[in-house]
Structure 1
Amino acid sequence: MNKLFGVDFGTGGCKATVIDLDGNICATAFKEYPSEHSKPGWSEQDPALWIDAFITTVTKCREQMTDGFEGVLGLAVTASTHNAVLLDSKGEVIRRCIMWNDQRSVEQSNVLREQYGERIYEIGMQMPTPTWTLPQLMWIRDNEPENYEKIDKLMFTKDYVRSWVTGDFCTDVVDAQGSLLYDAIKKEWSPELCGMIGLPLEVLPEIRGSQEIVGKVRAEIAELTGLPEGLAVIAGCSDTAAEDFSAGAVREGQIIVKLATAGNVNLVTNSAKPHPKSFTYPYSVAGKWYTVTATNSCASANRWMRDALYPVEKELAEQAGEDIYEIMSKQAEEVELGAQGLIFHPYLLGERCPHFNSHARGNFFGISMMHTKGHFARALLEGVAFSLYDCLQVLKDFTENMEDIVIIGGGAKSALWSQIVSDIFGLEVKQPENAESSFGGALMVGVGVGAFASEEEAARRCVRMKKTYQPNAENHHKYMRIFEIYKKIVKASEPIWEELAELS
């Protein structure tokens, strides 16, 4: 039986998935790893954790299949974008990787915006914020010049892992775009953007198509993991692009709501549509682009609540073999809509769309003696959904069609959270059967090796919807009243965020 293999590196962990050519899951494995937050707003990871997670999840997948990796046609590695891994002349990692949700480069972003903002937007289609690699590298140059001088090669998360597997030195168009070092019009690294921080072009990888075969599994990696030596490996792409593809988004106008570490509301388009309050990327689907609006903390906010408010319940759930998130969800479900006046803003790591304020901070507003953990759990789910609804408003500048929406990501496993999103949006929301980045990466492999004639065939053959959420009109009306208060709190908080930033 022929199979396709995708391995994805999300911010919270690595997920590996093997599928057959009809989209059925043959094997899957996950390994969690931590981020380090040594200072407020900082977020870093050790790339060695990714290699360990790759070995673990790949090995577990092989062990789950009676015929092992026999019949596997190819491998894709995908990951969150913007994360630059810096290597010295010996190929050693220079420092921990600054992650996409790190907010330390505020000052550098402001300088770039003031001095070059219009030109950066013209070339790279985005305005500089701490999310992007360009200001992150500028921060390293300004604060760690000894590390900056050592840079011999720059890779992104998926490329670092894939290079370990194959020995190649390349990236794909999606991750190139995510660096803010790429000329989106000329489709090449931009000497002008790199020149703004004195970065030599030769440290940057070759740019390839997401589905292009760029290497083969090396003998030593085959021996270590059980992967077939010589197995084809495609370039891969960002986790978001892969996940959108896994949801069957191959046509203009399709909208994808993602409840993952971050929360995204994305729109597929036939051409680039730059907007100062969104992100614009070439898509892994040939000839398409996608517009991204995003909130920084989504499932990561729920994970924070799990660790901060539910440590005892978490330990007991693990001992009983239960899912702590299901326990939290049941508590939230017992609380009425609106959490009896408790409102949450999920700005735990600053915020992107539509505020683009790295000083933004999360809060629970309206706490009273009557509120329980269940109220906090409910308010968190609603607060993230309100933030995503904020993102949806930006997309209305690009499309009037809001009828083709799918919901994906780990958070979408919660029926309560998905229904809250549908009620707040006031729109029908569909949930695919298998919508994850590793699944989308596996589909991309199928296109890359010729198992599918096109992305459309891959989606038609392998993507199936399992559930549809219909909005409750009365709930939507109530939520819109709360949303107005939600926005007023944001407006009132903005000057306070700045004061807090000065103190911290």
Structure 2
Amino acid sequence: MYYLGYDIGSSSIKVATVEALSGKKIITLQEPNEEMEIVSPHSNWAEQDPEVWWKHICIVTKRAIHGANIDASKIQAIGISYQMHGLVIVDKEGKPIRNAILWCDSRAVEIGNKAFNEIGTAKCMEHLMNSPGNFTASKLKWVRDNEPELYERIYKYMLPGDYIAHKLTEEIVTTKNGLSEGILWDYKNNNSADWLLEYYGIDNGLTPEIVNNFSNQGTVSDSAAKETGLPKGIPVTYRSGDQPNNALSLNIFNHGEVAATGGTSGVIYAVIESLNSKETERINQFAHVNYTEEKPSIGKLLCINGAGIMYRWLRNHGIDNSYENMNRKASKIDVGSNGVSVIPFGNGAERMFNNRTIGTHFCNLNLNKHSHGHLYRAALEGIAFSFVYGEILKNDHDAINVIRAGNDNLFRSEIFSNTVATLIGHEIEIYNTTGAIGAARAAGLINGNFIEFGENIIKNDHVTTYMPLKNIESYAHAYEHWKINLERLLNY
């Protein structure tokens, strides 16, 4: 028997199949091979057609069934991980009315800031645990204000994962976890934040029915079966935003446990059991996958939009077309990159700068002495420094017991991992898992046995542990040099 998991990213769609009993990986694939286009009709906008996600779901599902050489009738359940904070709006037929507005789209920043100021810090933090910020609710308000003819056609709004579940099952439902990611969940009253929608002038009837994120959320329909090659009737039993799901994939469920991600964006995601926060805007709080009213497990998220996308940009526009070559050249350069600093924040507004758009900057580049290797190392260091900057999350978190990361993206680089571990002063455990594998395994978690689930991950997936290096002085000096360049920009 098997479980199937999807990870719906803005770069690609990933799928994994695992053995139901052991959680052992059978196959992982992604579609397409090249990254999906992000449409940006205006500065700091980011959109994608949800039907493109579905097209790639269908292609990669057929590839996975064929490549794994399994009997698809033995797939017992499906789990879905998805890019957070996005907005998909559909009509009564369940068809998208416009492109999805993505997580990194900054058009609603001022709408969220205005709401935060008018509603007040106390109420927002007590009920929402966040500023409305640049999240799903504020993006929906933007549609109401700027595309009224489209707003009038809306039947339901959804998160990206809700839309893919709908395409699979023909059901339109969401979860409290998903609503919390869109700043649409009221923690104090334990229901959807209808009052925020009313403040925005939005009909709260647009909110889908709420289901548990570990439950039967619908079964594969006849039409979806024909398009994907899956048998009709397989239940969708799990959905989660990508960062809570990445934490689940790394066995991060308890207070003091931290998951780190170095993908297109960089994320530090720490679990606590408290509904209080010292940070009101730069860090965000979401209901973790195992959140209950009785045991409020909260994921505190520090997101850095400009992270892996910086290193990818260098690959796509440089002479080296592989990360392996780039890492090899970077490894020949000393810590500090001989004075070169890369400020990597070129992917929209950054929450840790109170939603300012800083941009990407190359500082102190000397055309007579610096090479591609210096740029590569400076980029890796600059992204690592952004994880450490200000220790915002550490200041808002009373215990860090363990830090874990997946063996993919930036954490495959020793330079990056060593820099973060050394400056944070804490070891980082690396695991051979992915969001799609985590979603597949989580499809079997209806029983809620998180302890056994986590023990299997620790036993089977651990790859290595990066320890803080002893020569911290060179790293600390490079970090201070980088901060000087950053703060010049912040104070400009």
TM over 0.5: yes
Match of 1:282 in 2: 287
CA 1:420 to 1:351, structure 2 compared with 1: closer, same or farther past 3 Å? Answer: farther
Are 1:479 and 2:475 counterparts? yes
Q: TM-score, normalised by structure 2?
A: 0.92
**SS of aligned partner of 1:422:** helix
CA distance in 2, matches of 1:193, 1:235: 27
Q: Whole-Å Cα distance in 2 between the matches of residues 117 and 214 of structure 1?
A: 36
Q: Give the match for residue 303 of structure 1.
A: 312
Partner of 1:14: 13
Q: Corresponding residue for 2:261?
A: 258
Aligned ranges for residues 61-100 of structure 1 at < 5 Å?
Answer: 61-100=64-103
How many Å separate the matches in 2 of 1:359 and 1:297?
Answer: 10
Q: Deviations over 1:83-137 (max 9, x none)?
A: 110112343211111111111223223322322242333321101322x112222
Q: Which residue, 453, 460, 477 being the options, matches 1:458?
A: 453
Contact preservation (8 Å) 2:184, 2:196: yes
Amino acid at match of 2:313: W
* SS of residue paired to 1:56: helix
Give the gaps of 5 or more residues in structure 1.
315-323, 497-504
d(CA) in 2 for partners of 1:100, 1:67: 35
Deviations, residues 122-161 of structure 1 (Å, cap 9, x unaligned) = 321101322x112222222222222222222111101101
| Match among 119, 128, 132 for residue 128 of structure 1 | 132
Structure 1 residues 489, 84: CA separation in 2 closer, same or farther (over 3 Å shift)? Answer: same
Superposition deviation, residue 292 in structure 1:
0.8
Specify the alignment match of 1:389 in structure 2. 388
Q: CA deviation at 1:8?
A: 0.7
Answer whether contact 1:210 1:237 (CA < 8 A) is retained.
Answer: yes
Listed as ranges, the matches of 1:426-465 within 5 Å are 426-434=425-433, 436-448=434-446, 450=447, 454-463=449-458, 464-465=461-462
Task: Report the alpha carbon displacement of residue 437 of structure 1 after superposing the two structures with TM.
Answer: 1.4
The answer as to whether partners of 1:171 and 1:235 remain within 8 angstroms in 2 is no
Aligned length, in residue pairs: 477
Of residues 369-378 and 270-279 in structure 1, the stretch that sits farther from structure 2 once superposed is 270-279
Question: 1:491: how far off?
Answer: 2.5
Name the counterpart of 1:320: none
The answer on whether the counterparts of 1:129 and 1:356 sit within 8 Å (CA) in structure 2 is no
Contact kept? 2:335, 2:478, Cα under 8 Å: no
Cα deviation code 1:247-294 (max 9, x no counterpart): 111221111111112111111112333331311111112442211111
Moved more, 207-216 or 480-489: 480-489
CA distance in 1, matches of 2:72, 2:418: 38
Matched residue, 1:494 = 490
Letter paired with 1:445: A
Cα deviations by residue, 1:156-208 (Å, 9 ceiling, x for unpaired): 10110110100111112221001122212222222210012111111111122
Match of 1:217 among 220, 224, 227: 220
SS of the residue aligned with 1:215? coil
1:25-83 residue CA offsets vs partner (Å, 9 max, x unmatched):
11111014121123221111111111011111111110112233242210011101111
Cα displacement (A) at 1:235? 4.1
* Residues 293-332 of structure 1 mapped to structure 2, 5 A cutoff: 293-310=302-319, 313-314=320-321, 324-332=322-330
Deviation, structure 1 residue 392:
4.2
1:468 aligns with 2:465: yes
Cα distance in 1 for residues equivalent to 2:5 and 2:444: 10
| Counterparts of residues 48-59 of structure 1 (less than 5 Å) | 48-59=51-62
Aligned counterparts, 1:100-115, within 5 A: 100-115=103-118
Name the counterpart of 2:236: 233
Instruction: Give 3-state SS (helix, strand or coil) of 2:479's partner.
Output: helix
Q: C-alpha displacement at 1:428, in angstroms?
A: 1.1
> Within 2, Cα distance between the matches of 1:109 and 1:156?
18
Letter in 1 for 2:449: S
Runs of 4+ residues deviating >6 angstroms: none
- When structure 1 is superposed on structure 2, of 178-187 and 96-105 the one drifting more is 178-187
Q: Which amino acid aligns with 1:278?
A: I
Paired residues of 2:88 and 2:100 also in contact (CA < 8 A): yes
CA distance in 1, matches of 2:354, 2:72: 45
**CA 1:213–1:52: 2 relative to 1, 3 Å:** same
**In 2, Cα distance between the equivalents of 1:235 and 1:407?**
22
What secondary structure sits across from 2:396 in the alignment? Answer: coil
Distance 1:349 1:66 in 2: 40
- Paired with 1:184 and 1:400, the residues of 2 have a C-alpha distance of 23
